[in-house]
Amino acid sequence: IGPDVIDIRKLYAQTGMFTYDPGFLSTASCQSAITYIDGDKGELLYRGYPIEQLATQADYLDTCFLLLNGELPNETERGDFHKLVTNHTMVNEQMQFFLRGFRRDAHPMAVLTGLVGALSAFYHDSTDINNPKHREIAAIRLIAKMPTLVAMAYKYGVGQPYMYPQNNLSYAGNFLRMMFGTPCEEYKVSPVLERALDRIFILHADHEQNASTSTVRLCGSSGTNPFAAIAAGVACLWGPAHGGANEACLNMLEDIQRQGGVAKVGEFMEKVKDKNSGVKLMGFGHRVYKNYDPRAKLMQETCNEVLAELGLENDPLFKLAKELEKIALEDDYFVQRKLYPNVDFYSGIVQRAIGIPVSLFTGIFALARTVGWIAQLNEMLADPEYKIGRPRQLFTGSARRDVPAGFKK
């Protein structure tokens, strides 16, 4: 296929040989034209556009349109797309009863996995994954309803009434109101927080073939419905090595703070470097970025803006994060292994400052990534070469043997 890429399918057809590659370190599972990452340069492009330009010149719904259609919208397309999404922000009232089946202290990701999967039980006209029209409407429904579902999961957990979507607000503004508004008083959306949240959504919208996206592709390859495939992505994202990292990062910062804060950073770093401790510096390191994560820089900028807006410049966790970053960037352990802050390092601090509870961070990530999952799913299904995903294995179990003659049911 290219100077440094071989098409192993030909080798397999000729010889029956296949590769062993746990963690897919050197296996491309698909061809994709959506997102490009240059890990050495620290570059991230959606459909060719640098993330820095999208984060400053476009909004999240423009980014959704771009990821789904390959081009940024013109004025008319922009208006039509915004209208289409806002038309679908409500969820079926029955979803409330489904939600009520959960314990109030259930983890929001457990709730969200269920709610997203359950959408397939409500929207029967968009469950045929092989029908492009069904996929189109499922895509709009998912993008439109994710903020409503995430906010419902939050409101349920804190025992407050759900807030219906308000469609004259922006995507991020509407989400803020559904999260923090109450029926008792008018909610005024802060432009700084709205912009910060919109940026979080843009930065998390897609990231090529990560674990959750690969999960969505694999799940969708069986022909299941789009809602089920996205629910599988939500479930995968939950893990602390992936979307759960910003939650884990904030928990780590709070832990160090409880033990003495900045004064304890040196001691903590020694633990991180001790391979037997099992402690990692959460929010650091990335499978692909081995120079820096461009999203982390943008997030740090947003972090400064949000903390200034809220008068939290002296926030102890922010100070702690800066100290950890400073030490890590000068420490041989991190330098040699090319470990830099990833997007999660600062996004947790921003979300916490906005008032989002730690347990909901991954839900926000899922909300933002939904469009990427759909774009990747559509790309796979439109590919004439697409097949059901079916990895091979290297069998290491016992050879054929007989059940002992005396063993009976």
Residues from 62 through 121 that contact ligand ACO (CB under 6 A):
none
Residue 297 as a binder of ligand ACO (CB under 6 A): the answer is: no
Among 78, 242, 264, 319, binds ligand ACO (CB under 6 A): 242
Residue 265 CB, nearest approach to ligand ACO (Å)? 14
Q: Say if CB 249 and CB 348 are below 8 A apart.
A: yes
Among 151, 339, 366, 371, binds ligand ACO (CB under 6 A): 339
Q: How many whole angstroms separate alpha carbon 346 and alpha carbon 332?
A: 22
Among 232, 234, 296, 343, binds ligand ACO (CB under 6 A): 343
Residue 366 as a binder of ligand ACO (CB under 6 A): the answer is: no
Q: Which residues pair with 284 in a beta bridge?
A: 341
Would you call 62 a catalytic residue per the annotation?
A: no
Residue 286 as a binder of ligand ACO (CB under 6 A): the answer is: yes
Angle, CA of 59, 62 and 65, to the nearest 5°: 150
For ligand ACO, which stretch binds (CB under 6 A), given 5-13, 88-96, 192-200, 241-249? 241-249
For ligand ACO, which stretch binds (CB under 6 A), given 1-9, 130-138, 281-289, 374-382? 281-289
Q: How many whole angstroms separate alpha carbon 213 and alpha carbon 236?
A: 9
> Catalytic one among 107, 207, 286, 293?
286
3-state secondary structure of 40: coil
Q: How many residues bind ligand ACO (CB under 6 A)?
A: 18
For ligand ACO, which stretch binds (CB under 6 A), given 130-138, 277-285, 313-321, 373-381? 277-285
Buried b (16+ CB within 10 A) or exposed e, 204-216: bbbbbbbbbbbbb
Q: Say if CB 201 and CB 172 are below 8 A apart.
A: yes
Residue 342 CB, nearest approach to ligand ACO (Å)? 4
Q: How many whole angstroms separate alpha carbon 210 and alpha carbon 68?
A: 18
Our CB check for ligand ACO shows the closer of 44 and 245 to be 245
Residue 284 as a binder of ligand ACO (CB under 6 A): the answer is: yes
Residue 282 as a binder of ligand ACO (CB under 6 A): the answer is: yes
Residue 368 as a binder of ligand ACO (CB under 6 A): the answer is: no
In eight-state DSSP terms, residue 208 is S
Residues from 309 through 338 that contact ligand ACO (CB under 6 A):
337
What is the side-by-side order of every strand in the sheet holding 49-50?
35-38, 43-46, 49-50
Q: How many whole angstroms separate alpha carbon 268 and alpha carbon 209?
A: 32
Residue 34 CB, nearest approach to ligand ACO (Å)? 16
Mask for 170-209, x = binds ligand ACO (CB under 6 A): ----------------------------------------
> Catalytic one among 59, 198, 293, 344?
344
Residues for the chain: how many in total? Answer: 409
Residue 367 CB, nearest approach to ligand ACO (Å)? 14
Q: Say if CB 226 and CB 217 are below 8 A apart.
A: no
Distances (CA, A) of 87 to 189, 230, 318, 362: 21, 21, 39, 26
Would you call 286 a catalytic residue per the annotation?
A: yes
Residue 117 CB, nearest approach to ligand ACO (Å)? 22
Among 235, 236, 272, 364, binds ligand ACO (CB under 6 A): 272
Residue 344 as a binder of ligand ACO (CB under 6 A): the answer is: yes
Q: Say if CB 231 and CB 146 are below 8 A apart.
A: no
Q: How many whole angstroms separate alpha carbon 351 and alpha carbon 200?
A: 9
Do the bridges between strand 43-46 and strand 35-38 make them parallel or antiparallel, or are there none, so unpaired? antiparallel
Active site residues: 286, 344
Which positions touch ligand ACO (CB under 6 A)? Answer: 241-243, 245, 272, 280-287, 337, 339, 342-344
